């Protein structure tokens, strides 16, 4: 064994694989069988007065870290609210807007928050703390390789170097209880990929039995929708794109229509429209106007969105076919998937003139492989990291996975998500 191999081995040995992505609305992080999800937003600096006020005003009995989190920003020298906490902040800043990272310092706070919360979940389960990790990280498509380079060079300025090793120190505070905690994690590596690639990895592990199939990922998120063709295990850089049009566009339009209907007297916060969608409710009380059912508006908006998505997808399929490439599977993911899955599937069926059986086999509902379409990318990025570790250590990769719990910063809802666990598949061989 050469010296080089030994140092590489010791770098990867014992690293826990984790996955993460910063979405325009929510960031998702995954370790083992847990996904942590919180709003992609940091608030202004936490002054002692703000903090005191927060504690006094806070009547909530929800004292979990994920709902009351502040992260110490050592670059700017102050505490920052993260996620749910920012609702009490004057100026909330989103890490990303239209799918692009706005401010690296804020995004870094988000990354620290995600890793801190994953560590909390792990130790809560009596597992070893996350003292050494390998990370799969999803970045927006549009900016291409520059975004990855930019992220890496930023990361280097924030990590502590010790010979070959890099460390990240995270100082966190639970604002409800006043508890403070500092952890230090060795970052063995960060593997960066485009956001929809996580879904591809989850399909590779959970459906393809580690064989390579050409996959077209459609990720309908909050601020954007992403198209990501993966051909021969590589992202097609010419066709991959992120389009600034997502569920947010739809809820914004619904809220505007309600405003017009009330003769511009009543504005329904978009958040209220948004909250109704997962519950399949479309009726909303408009003061002075009675109950307004936005179902027809929603249906129209969805039809528009699906049409626009299908135009782009058909163009890509035409282009791929001219190059002699064929898509084996389509994966429709993201928070919007429950609303657009069926019509997009129908559109793809019409394009190929497939019968129902072929369509159902090729257009995949990812919940059938045990992952939620909204969190699948974070799970897949953990698998990407796991794969990387196995390759470096020259060991077979364990292809099994299953999300047992979803931890969110939402107060409402049960915050728990039981998913079928996976049986281990055969030994993996992956083209890297
Ligand atoms: N069950 C559901 N039905 C319909 N819409 C939903 C559902 N669950 C979440 N959403 C909507 O999906 C959006 C969030 O999706 P997702 O978490 O994939 O976005 P994101 O990753 O934050 O954004 P982006 O991918 O654009 O960066 C929100 O607008 C939310 O209202
Ligand atoms: Mg997303």
Instruction: State the sign of the Cα–Cα–Cα–Cα dihedral 289, 301, 144, 399.
Output: positive
Nearest-atom index, ligand 1, CA of 248: 29
Give 135's strand partners. 18, 190
Taking the C-alpha atoms of residue 258 and residue 214, their distance in angstroms, rounded to an integer, is 43
Give 26's strand partners. 39
Give 139's strand partners. 194
Nearest-atom index, ligand 1, CA of 27: 22
Taking the C-alpha atoms of residue 189 and residue 381, their distance in angstroms, rounded to an integer, is 13
The alpha carbon of 54 and the centre of ligand 2 are apart by a number of angstroms equal to 30
The alpha carbon of 259 and the centre of ligand 1 are apart by a number of angstroms equal to 23
Nearest ligand, CA 98: 1
Coil vs helix vs strand at 424: coil
Q: Which of 110, 222, 331, 415 to mutate to test the pocket of ligand 1 (most atoms within 8 A of CB)?
A: 222
For the chain, give every domain's residue range: 3-200+372-408
Nearest ligand, CA 277: 1
Taking the C-alpha atoms of residue 154 and residue 373, their distance in angstroms, rounded to an integer, is 30
Protein residues whose CB sits closer than 6 Å to any atom of ligand 1:
23-26, 99, 219, 221-224, 246-248, 274, 277-278, 334-336, 338-339, 374
Nearest-atom index, ligand 1, CA of 26: 22
> Which of 194, 209, 223, 268 minimizes the C-alpha distance to 102?
223
Q: For residue 173, what is the enclosing H or E element?
A: strand 165-174
Give 100's strand partners. 97
Taking the C-alpha atoms of residue 2 and residue 6, their distance in angstroms, rounded to an integer, is 6
Nearest-atom index, ligand 1, CA of 274: 31
Coil vs helix vs strand at 118: helix
Taking the C-alpha atoms of residue 338 and residue 336, their distance in angstroms, rounded to an integer, is 6
Q: What is the pLDDT of residue 263?
A: 81
Q: What are phi and psi of 257, to 5 degrees?
A: -60, -40
Evaluate whether 54 touches 67 at the Cβ level (below 8 Å).
no
Taking the C-alpha atoms of residue 25 and residue 250, their distance in angstroms, rounded to an integer, is 14
* CATH number corresponding to 3-200+372-408: 3.30.420.40
Nearest-atom index, ligand 1, CA of 226: 25
The alpha carbon of 248 and the centre of ligand 1 are apart by a number of angstroms equal to 8
Taking the C-alpha atoms of residue 20 and residue 115, their distance in angstroms, rounded to an integer, is 9
* Regions of the chain with pLDDT less than 50: 1-4, 412-432
The alpha carbon of 157 and the centre of ligand 1 are apart by a number of angstroms equal to 32
Nearest-atom index, ligand 1, CA of 247: 29
> Which of 280, 278, 271, 338 minimizes the C-alpha distance to 84?
271
pLDDT digits 0-9 by tens, 45-56: 878 887 887 777
Q: What is the pLDDT of residue 145?
A: 57
Would you tell me how many other CB atoms lie within 10 Å of the CB of residue 315?
12
Nearest ligand, CA 247: 1
Taking the C-alpha atoms of residue 95 and residue 223, their distance in angstroms, rounded to an integer, is 12
Coil vs helix vs strand at 94: strand
Would you tell me how many other CB atoms lie within 10 Å of the CB of residue 14?
15
Q: Which of 21, 25, 410 to mutate to test the pocket of ligand 1 (most atoms within 8 A of CB)?
A: 25
The alpha carbon of 199 and the centre of ligand 2 are apart by a number of angstroms equal to 11
Evaluate whether 82 touches 110 at the Cβ level (below 8 Å).
yes
Q: What is the pLDDT of residue 285?
A: 87
Taking the C-alpha atoms of residue 138 and residue 132, their distance in angstroms, rounded to an integer, is 19
Evaluate whether 184 touches 166 at the Cβ level (below 8 Å).
no
Q: For residue 225, what is the enclosing H or E element?
A: strand 225-231
The alpha carbon of 27 and the centre of ligand 2 are apart by a number of angstroms equal to 8
Token pair for 142: 């549009």
Coil vs helix vs strand at 162: strand
Q: What is the pLDDT of residue 6?
A: 54
Burial of 81 (0-12, 13-18, 19+ CB in 10 A): buried
Taking the C-alpha atoms of residue 107 and residue 96, their distance in angstroms, rounded to an integer, is 8
Q: Which residue has the tokens 């299953």?
A: 402
Query: DSSP H helical segments within 222-336, as ranges?
Result: 247-261, 270-276, 295-322
The alpha carbon of 273 and the centre of ligand 1 are apart by a number of angstroms equal to 13
Report which protein residue has its CA nearest ligand 1's atom 13: 222
């Amino acid at each position: 064994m050469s010296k080089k191999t030994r140092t590489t081995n010791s770098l990867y040995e014992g690293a826990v694989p984790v996955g993460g992505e910063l979405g325009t609305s929510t960031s998702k992080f995954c370790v083992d069988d847990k996904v942590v999800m919180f709003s992609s937003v940091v608030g202004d600096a936490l002054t002692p007065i703000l903090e005191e006020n927060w504690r006094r005003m806070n009547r909530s009995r929800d004292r979990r870290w994920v709902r009351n989190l502040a992260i110490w920003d050592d670059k700017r020298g102050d505490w920052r609210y993260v996620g749910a906490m920012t609702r009490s902040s004057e100026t909330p800043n989103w890490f990303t807007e239209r799918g692009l990272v706005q401010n690296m310092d804020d995004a870094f706070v988000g990354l620290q928050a995600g890793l801190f919360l994953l560590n909390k979940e792990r130790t809560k389960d009596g597992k070893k703390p996350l003292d050494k990790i390998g990370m799969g990280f999803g970045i927006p498509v549009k900016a291409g390789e520059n975004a990855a380079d930019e992220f890496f060079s930023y990361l280097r300025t924030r990590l502590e170097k010790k010979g070959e090793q890099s460390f990240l120190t995270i100082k966190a505070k639970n604002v409800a209880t006043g508890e403070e905690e500092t952890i230090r994690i060795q970052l063995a590596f960060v593997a960066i990929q485009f956001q929809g690639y996580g879904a591809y990895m989850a399909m590779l592990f959970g459906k393809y039995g580690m064989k390579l199939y050409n996959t077209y990922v459609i990720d309908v998120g909050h601020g954007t929708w992403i198209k990501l063709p993966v051909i021969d295990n590589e992202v097609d850089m010419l066709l991959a794109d992120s389009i600034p049009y997502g569920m947010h566009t739809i809820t914004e339009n619904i809220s505007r229509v309600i405003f017009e209907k009330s003769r511009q007297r009543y504005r329904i916060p978009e958040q209220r429209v948004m909250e109704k969608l997962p519950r399949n409710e479309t009726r909303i009380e408009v003061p002075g106007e009675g109950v307004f059912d936005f179902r027809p508006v929603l249906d129209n908006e969805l039809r528009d969105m699906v049409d626009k998505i299908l135009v782009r997808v058909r163009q890509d399929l035409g282009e791929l076919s001219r190059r002699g490439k064929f898509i084996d599977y389509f994966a429709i993911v993201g928070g919007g998937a429950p609303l657009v899955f069926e019509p997009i599937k129908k559109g793809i069926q019409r394009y190929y003139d497939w019968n129902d059986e072929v369509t159902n086999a090729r257009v995949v509902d990812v919940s059938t492989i045990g992952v939620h379409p909204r969190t699948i990318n974070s799970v897949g990025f953990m698998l990407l990291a796991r794969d990387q570790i196995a390759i470096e250590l020259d060991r077979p990769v364990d292809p099994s996975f299953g999300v047992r719990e979803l931890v969110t910063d939402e107060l409402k809802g049960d915050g728990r998500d039981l998913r079928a666990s996976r049986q281990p598949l055969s030994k993996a061989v992956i083209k890297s």
